[in-house]
Structure 1
Amino acid sequence: MGLFIQWLLRIAGAMLVIALLAMTLIYFLASRSLPEYDKTLRSNGVSAPVEIVRDNANVPHIFGESDADVFFALGYAHAQDRLWQMVTLRRTAQGRLSEVFGTSTLPIDKLLRRLDFFTLAVQSVQHQDERTTAALRAYSNGVNTRIDEINRDSLGRGAPEMFLFPNAIAPWQPADSIAIQKLMALQLSGHLEEEVLRARVSLILPDENRLLDILPEAPGTGVASLPEYAALVPETPRFTATTPLPSHPLSPFPRRPLAGASNAWAAAPSRSASGGTLLANDPHLGLSAPAIWYLTRLELSSGGVIGGTIPGIPTILTGRSDDLGWGLTSAYVDDQDVFIEQLNPENPEEYRTPGGFEPFVTRKSIINIADEQPVTLTLRWTENGPVLPGSHYSLGTVTPENHVAALGWTALSARDTSMSAAVAIMYAKSIQGALDAAEAYISPAQNMVVADRETVALKVIGALPRRDDEHQSKGRMPSLGWLAQNQWQGRLPYASNPVFRSPIGGIVGNTNNKMVERPFPLHVSYVWGDTQRIQRWQRLMQGRQVHTRDSFVEAQLDTVSFTARSLLPLVGGDLWFTGNAAPDGSTERLRQRALTLLAEWNGEMNEHLPEPLIYSAWLRALQVRLIQDEMGPLAEEFTHIEPLFIERVFRNVDGAGVWCDVIQSAPTESCTDMARLALDDALLWISEKYGTQLESLRWGDAHQATHDHQVLGKVPLLRYFVNIRQSTSGGDNTLQRGRTSGIGPNPFQNVHAGAYRGVYDFADPDSSVFVISTGQSGHFLSRFYDDMSQLWRRGEYVPMSLDPELARAASVGVTRLVPKQ
């Protein structure tokens, strides 16, 4: 027996030693790819010495004698810190993820191949201006220099992920950057799904008032009534099996509630306590680790520029120079249309056009799959755009037999000069210069908020399609592609894009809210991203005669929900302080406790409070009860509450109170009945998940920010090293927006937020501040992988200074790039 125990201990000891050696080896190999910031590198890519000075937050400050050298160094710095992210974004845009990840990403590749971003990007390269072409080439050379250095010096393949997925890295080229920019347009576009959803809902809710209840118009002047979709497209299938969009973490196809958002506002000197202009911006995108944003300072021939870049794109997309600050929000421009194309009954390779049947433009595309046989796709384009499969956004549910759906979209341009516009904005010295530069911008459509030292402005930038006055659905639902009146007729002139310059009130801003009401076809959109945050923003802006950098920061971090303040008295008006006393442990007593808490709550979505969780669960359960019987399976498409719908129902606008009655039941339920039942539903769900001690609940336990690694985030054990999870305040409708997932067992997880925040003060530019949601490095062994995440969570920032001495004073390293010759 003793001998057996001795051998057992020896085996266990040996296994422990082997495990330790394996972990040491893994750590050694992974650490080889940690970039060295303090070094000198000789390269043929620069014409004179260049310095990359990394300040104490690891923000690179790049100094060179020519702009080409600066862009070369930017490419090198991006590749040092985010090579895996860049390569993955490129593979996504090209539809080549399956070469690495196998069949799990095949649906994503198929859809991206049909959109053909990379081919369009290659064609767009030749249409960039000379300065942008030079920047793209220099940037590509910088990325490739880092790749060559990794291969030459055996630097751990450049990133730990490369050991798990050891595919060769192709050289970077200018088209890759343009393709990634198009990928960003995809992540910010939601009109396609809106069109299809509106058509699907109209098929089961032919009453136009009920359609306007569940898909309400943003407040403002009304629009002309819409025809029923069945009248537009006869013989449309009402019930068709659908395949959801790819749910893989690498999928760039956003669900409807997550298709872009952001905040930006600016104040003129007349509304600034310091006498200088102010600007704040926090663009909202899906959270990930690392964040999509990367902070950078470039010293160009026009002067210093600092702000947020996206690795793979050689320009600062939001930031400031000494003379100008600019920020972006999603404009929600109606720049997508679905066209129903009729196939030729005698030849399915032809489709109907205004001039008769024409052949599709077709091309074969081969998708290589890791450890599997390749798949060959036949890509088809009509004169309206690429043909998409019926599973895409449930297009099959609104497409009749012997028809296909095609997508018209401004981003599908082979002459896309958006990159040139973005570069030119970075060089601009004034508001007029920035507005002129933005004329070349195509997609994704944005609201650009700009401030120079004298005034402020806001303009919609991006292409607005020109539609015919007689368009059947006004671009709001799929339309017949062979009718000339439905087809696009080019682009509206840039001068017609809405602009607000030097306003009398001294403040401009946007929270994705409706900005203008113009008659079709000069409209901007019928679908907007916000009807709630704008209410709180107006109150904060008008609550002060003058503003400061700190008041702009305070507004950016504001977590008070106007939605909660306005809906709770409406929904619970007949429930508060009513009913008989109830014993502890009963449903009635739990409901009374919840109502008492909510009655004393000010609407602040604070992570430490229980009320935000009770409110959110209640409203979620209420909407489910209201729509489930009328909508059936389609109710699952409405994953987030629509405040205007709840308000219409409880105010009985145009008879909307009918939603409260359950069709299948004999009694006639009132809205008070629905509110009470929904609250009981919510409290039951909370009790099962978090317990019955309502006073001890924390919103932050449910509203955790999910900065997850898109590839390694689900790997057992490893996920604890690569994912960043944080308790956060805010919610769907607060200025500090933390958009919830709306699905799954944790529907209130924070998955979409302002991963970049910046506030610029032109009275004292070096007091400007910014922060990102994780850290500068994409390497999970780096101390800069998550060093900003707690600052971001707590609402803190790092300085945004263009003073080179401040950057050098506490630098974590200086990389010198010098010519070989």
Structure 2
Amino acid sequence: MVTLFRWLVRIVLGLGLLAAGLLVLAWYLASGSLPDYESRVEVEGITAPVEIVRDRHAVPHIFGETEEDVYFGLGYAHAQDRLWQMTILRRTAQGRLSELFGEATFEIDHLLRALDIYGVARAMVPNQSERTQAAMRAYADGVNARLAEVQVEALGRGSPEFFIFSRAIAPWTPTDSIAVNRIMALQLTGHAGLEVRRAELSLLLQPERLRDLMPDAPEVAMMGGSPEFAELFPEMDFAALPEMPRHPLDPVAPLGFAGASNAWAVDGSRSASGATLMASDPHLGLSAPSIWMLARLEFPQGGVIGGTIPGLPGVIIGRNDDFAWGLTTTGTDDQDIYIERIDPADPDRYLTPDGSQPFRTRDILIGVGDEPARTVTLRWTRHGPVIPPHRYGVAAITPPGHVAALAWTALDPTDRSMDSLIEMPFARSVEEGRRALEGLIAPSQNFTMADREQVAIQVGGRAPLRRETHQGEGRIPVPGWVEENDWLGLVPFEEMPGTYNPRSGLVLNTNNRVTVRDFPYHVSHDWGDTQRIQRARRLLAEREFHTVDSFIEAQTDTVSQTARILLSLVARDLFWTGNPVSEDALSPIRNVALDRLADWNGEMSEHGPEGLIYAAWMRHLQHRLIRDELGGPMAERITRLEPLFIERVFRDIDGAGVWCDVRTSAPVETCLEMARLSLDDALLDLRERYGSRVEGWRWGDAHLAMQEHEVLSRVPGLSLIASIIQPTSGGDNTLMRGLTAGDGPNPFANVHASGLRMVVDFGDPESSRYIISTGQSGHLLSRHYDDLSVLWRRGDYIPMSLSEDRARADAIGVTELVPRGE
């Protein structure tokens, strides 16, 4: 027995030493890819030395003698810190994720190949200006210089992830940058999914009830009333198909997640300093690292600083000495789904207004991990690519003998969006900023602009020009063989909406509608916000003069005007009537919850229980209202709160109160009964999750910002160090927006928020501030992987300075790139 015990001890110790050795080896290999910010590197592709000065937050300040040299430095800096992120974005655009991740990403690859995103990007390159093409080439040279350095110096393959998912890294090209731009366009639109959802619901509901569940934004004029989907396709029967599980790398945003943002600006008449102020905070899906990386580019013409996206050469949102700009998603209806009828006599052809026409086809191979590559036949129609049936849910609304094709402005190779990206940082006035947008087609964004005297908002990007007789009006999929459904081109840029120097001195957008009733063109029926705009208008209008601090106060405001409105409707007969129902085991919790909500001001603070009670109550209420009309499978897919729906029901607008009655039961239920039952549903759910003491519940415990590494968060063990998870304030409809997941094990998790916040003051430009949600580095072992996340969560910022002296004074390292041979 003694001998056996000794051998067991030896085996355990040996295994422990082996595990420790493997950990040390893994750390050694991974740490080899940590960039050395204090270095001198000989490179090819620059005309003179380039300096990359990293300030104490690891923000690169890049100094070069020519524009091309500065873009070279940006490419090098991006590749130092975000090489894995850039590679994954490129693979996504190419439809080559499954080579690394196997079956899990096959449908993503199938869609991206069907859309031919990379082919469109390649065709766009020669359509950009010479200046832009030179910038893209220089940027690519900078990325490739870092790749060469990694290879020659054996720097841990450039990023730890490449040890797990090993593949050769191809050189970066200008096509790759435009492909990343197209991926961003895909993330920022959701109209194809909205058309499918509206078509599905129209097969289940009467028109007035569909209008309850998918209401138009207030004050939007109807276009005359499109026919129901069933009228266009009488052979279509509704079939509720389950939604495919969504992979974190899927660039197609779920419904309600296709971009958001806030931006506003005031001129000198509304500023305490007498100079213009501008604020912008774009909202995208949270990830670790953030999609954003801060950078300062010092061109011969002057400096520019702001948020960049690794893979793109330029500053996306930022300022120079005289001009600042920010972005919000317009919500332009830039997609239409066409149901194409296959020729019954020939399945290789489809019907058009001029008769039968052949599909354009191509066979491709998609690599799937270690399995044999799969052959897929792609098809295109005159409207655009045929969508794989599992994407956007089109299988549920495509009749037999038909296919669905997608028309989308972002597939237009004449798009010069990269010209806009390159030219905007050199603008010195609102007028020059507007001119920089002339070639932009997609993604459509609201550009909030401020120079030293003026403020403006201009929609950049183009809307499809539809006939007045278009059968779907952009709301539902339409027959592809009907000529009146064809686009006539694009709305001219000069006629897209814009606001310049209003008398109020204020311009503001929170993804709310940008058109007025008499606007002559269709821009959208589905705007991104009808709620935050109410709070923003109040905060910005009630203060006569603004400062950087007042703008930050508005950006980080966590009061939900939506909660105030809905609770005043839903709970009005429960707050002041004593015990709302007879005493039962839930009464103590119910009474405390109602008392706290009665005194609540709508602030979605992470530290209190009110936001959690409200969110759970509204979630259960909406589900109770819709599940009998829609049926279980469809109701389970509508997981996110639609505030206008709840408001219409409890105000009984156009008879919407009928949703409160459960059709399958004999009694006629009232909305008060629905409110009581759903409150109990919510409280039972919360008691099970967080215990029976309401005072111990915290909104922040549920509203965790899920900044997860899109790949390593799914690897056991590594998820603990790869993900940045924090309790946060805010909610779906607050200005400091934290959009909740809606489903899954934690439906209230914060998964979509302002990954970048920026405030600019032209009265004192060096007092301008910004912050991103994670850290500058994408390297797990870097101290700059998550160092800014705590500041971001607290609503703090770092300086936004164009001072070279300040950057050098607190530098943590200077990388000097010198022409080879010097």
Equivalent residue pairs, number: 819
Change (3 A) 1:210 1:61: same
**Correspondence for 1:24:** 24
**Correspondence for 2:749:** 749
**Correspondence for 1:241:** 241
Q: Does 1:380 align with 2:401?
A: no
Structure 1: distance between partners of 2:396 and 2:582 = 51
CA drift at 1:520: 8.1
**Correspondence for 1:344:** 343
CA drift at 1:591: 1.6
| Superposition map of 1:356-395 within 5 A | 356-395=355-394
TM-score (ref. length: structure 1):
0.98
**Correspondence for 1:49:** 49
**Correspondence for 2:258:** 259
CA drift at 1:814: 0.3
Q: Is the 8 A contact 2:336 2:477 kept in 1?
A: yes
Change (3 A) 1:518 1:492: farther
CA drift at 1:9: 2.3
Q: Is the 8 A contact 2:96 2:109 kept in 1?
A: yes
**Correspondence for 1:474:** 473
CA drift at 1:163: 0.5
Q: Does 1:464 align with 2:473?
A: no
Structure 1: distance between partners of 2:424 and 2:581 = 65
CA drift at 1:238: 1.3
Deviations 1:209-261 (A, max 9, x none): 1111011111104312232111122211211535x345111111110021110
Q: Is the 8 A contact 1:466 1:521 kept in 2?
A: no
Q: Is the 8 A contact 1:469 1:520 kept in 2?
A: no
Structure 2: distance between partners of 1:636 and 1:463 = 35
The amino acid across from 1:130 in the alignment is E
**Correspondence for 2:449:** 450
Structure 2: distance between partners of 1:495 and 1:582 = 60
Deviations 1:173-216 (A, max 9, x none): 000000110000111111111111111111111x2211110111
Q: Is the 8 A contact 1:468 1:521 kept in 2?
A: no
**Correspondence for 1:640:** 640
Structure 2: distance between partners of 1:465 and 1:728 = 39
Structure 1: distance between partners of 2:811 and 2:144 = 25
The amino acid across from 2:497 in the alignment is P
**Correspondence for 2:160:** 160
CA drift at 1:3: 3.3
CA drift at 1:483: 1.4
Query: Does the residue aligned with 1:393 lie in a helix, a strand or coil?
Result: coil
Structure 2: distance between partners of 1:212 and 1:581 = 32
Structure 2: distance between partners of 1:618 and 1:240 = 27
CA drift at 1:460: 0.6
Query: Does the residue aligned with 1:18 lie in a helix, a strand or coil?
Result: helix
Structure 2: distance between partners of 1:815 and 1:556 = 35
TM-score (ref. length: structure 2):
0.98
Structure 1: distance between partners of 2:792 and 2:561 = 23
Structure 2: distance between partners of 1:227 and 1:355 = 24
CA drift at 1:33: 0.4
Deviations 1:236-294 (A, max 9, x none): 1211535x345111111110021110000001111000111111111000000000000
The amino acid across from 1:623 in the alignment is Q
Q: Does 1:805 align with 2:805?
A: yes
CA drift at 1:304: 0.3
Which piece of structure 1 moves more, 10-19 or 342-351? 10-19
Q: Is the 8 A contact 2:220 2:517 kept in 1?
A: no
Q: Is the 8 A contact 2:756 2:771 kept in 1?
A: yes
Q: Does 1:80 align with 2:52?
A: no
Structure 2: distance between partners of 1:292 and 1:580 = 50
Structure 2: distance between partners of 1:581 and 1:653 = 25
| Superposition map of 1:26-41 within 5 A | 26-41=26-41
Q: Is the 8 A contact 1:614 1:682 kept in 2?
A: yes
CA drift at 1:8: 2.5
What fraction of aligned residue pairs are identical, expressed as a percent?
A: 55
Which piece of structure 1 moves more, 220-229 or 326-335? 220-229
Q: Is the 8 A contact 2:721 2:780 kept in 1?
A: yes
Query: Does the residue aligned with 1:386 lie in a helix, a strand or coil?
Result: coil
Which piece of structure 1 moves more, 408-417 or 547-556? 408-417
Deviations 1:598-621 (A, max 9, x none): 001110000000000000000000
Query: Does the residue aligned with 1:134 lie in a helix, a strand or coil?
Result: helix
The amino acid across from 1:611 in the alignment is E
Structure 2: distance between partners of 1:91 and 1:581 = 57
State the superposition RMSD in angstroms: 1.3
Deviations 1:437-478 (A, max 9, x none): 101111110000000001100011101111111111111111
Q: Is the 8 A contact 1:236 1:397 kept in 2?
A: no
Q: Is the 8 A contact 2:67 2:299 kept in 1?
A: yes
Q: Does 1:662 align with 2:662?
A: yes
The amino acid across from 2:208 in the alignment is N
Structure 2: distance between partners of 1:797 and 1:570 = 37
**Correspondence for 1:685:** 685
Change (3 A) 1:675 1:19: same
Q: Is the 8 A contact 1:517 1:523 kept in 2?
A: no
Structure 2: distance between partners of 1:518 and 1:611 = 38
**Correspondence for 1:301:** 300
Structure 2: distance between partners of 1:171 and 1:375 = 26
Q: Is the 8 A contact 2:244 2:390 kept in 1?
A: yes
Change (3 A) 1:221 1:100: closer
Structure 2: distance between partners of 1:13 and 1:567 = 62
Structure 2: distance between partners of 1:535 and 1:705 = 25
Structure 2: distance between partners of 1:766 and 1:820 = 36
Structure 1: distance between partners of 2:652 and 2:634 = 23
Query: Does the residue aligned with 1:682 lie in a helix, a strand or coil?
Result: helix
Query: Does the residue aligned with 1:69 lie in a helix, a strand or coil?
Result: helix
Query: Does the residue aligned with 2:342 lie in a helix, a strand or coil?
Result: strand
**Correspondence for 2:622:** 623
**Correspondence for 1:326:** 325
Structure 1 spans left out of the alignment, 5+ residues: none
Deviations 1:393-414 (A, max 9, x none): 1112211111111101000112
Deviations 1:653-685 (A, max 9, x none): 111000000000110000000000000000010
Query: Does the residue aligned with 2:713 lie in a helix, a strand or coil?
Result: coil
Q: Is the 8 A contact 2:574 2:580 kept in 1?
A: no
Change (3 A) 1:424 1:414: same
Change (3 A) 1:273 1:519: closer
Change (3 A) 1:580 1:126: closer
CA drift at 1:27: 0.5
Query: Does the residue aligned with 1:387 lie in a helix, a strand or coil?
Result: coil
The amino acid across from 1:44 in the alignment is E
Query: Does the residue aligned with 1:230 lie in a helix, a strand or coil?
Result: helix
Query: Does the residue aligned with 2:349 lie in a helix, a strand or coil?
Result: strand
Structure 1: distance between partners of 2:624 and 2:301 = 59
CA drift at 1:92: 0.4
The amino acid across from 1:619 in the alignment is M
Structure 2: distance between partners of 1:153 and 1:581 = 72
CA drift at 1:389: 2.1
Query: Does the residue aligned with 2:709 lie in a helix, a strand or coil?
Result: coil
Structure 2 spans left out of the alignment, 5+ residues: none
Query: Does the residue aligned with 2:282 lie in a helix, a strand or coil?
Result: strand
The amino acid across from 1:347 in the alignment is D
Structure 1: distance between partners of 2:229 and 2:292 = 41
Structure 1: distance between partners of 2:517 and 2:82 = 43
Q: Is the 8 A contact 2:606 2:730 kept in 1?
A: yes
Deviations 1:617-663 (A, max 9, x none): 00000000000000112212321111111111001111100000000
Query: Does the residue aligned with 1:595 lie in a helix, a strand or coil?
Result: helix
Structure 1: distance between partners of 2:173 and 2:5 = 62
Q: Is the 8 A contact 2:75 2:143 kept in 1?
A: yes
Q: Is the 8 A contact 2:221 2:517 kept in 1?
A: no
**Correspondence for 1:498:** 497
The amino acid across from 1:638 in the alignment is I
| Superposition map of 1:769-788 within 5 A | 769-788=769-788
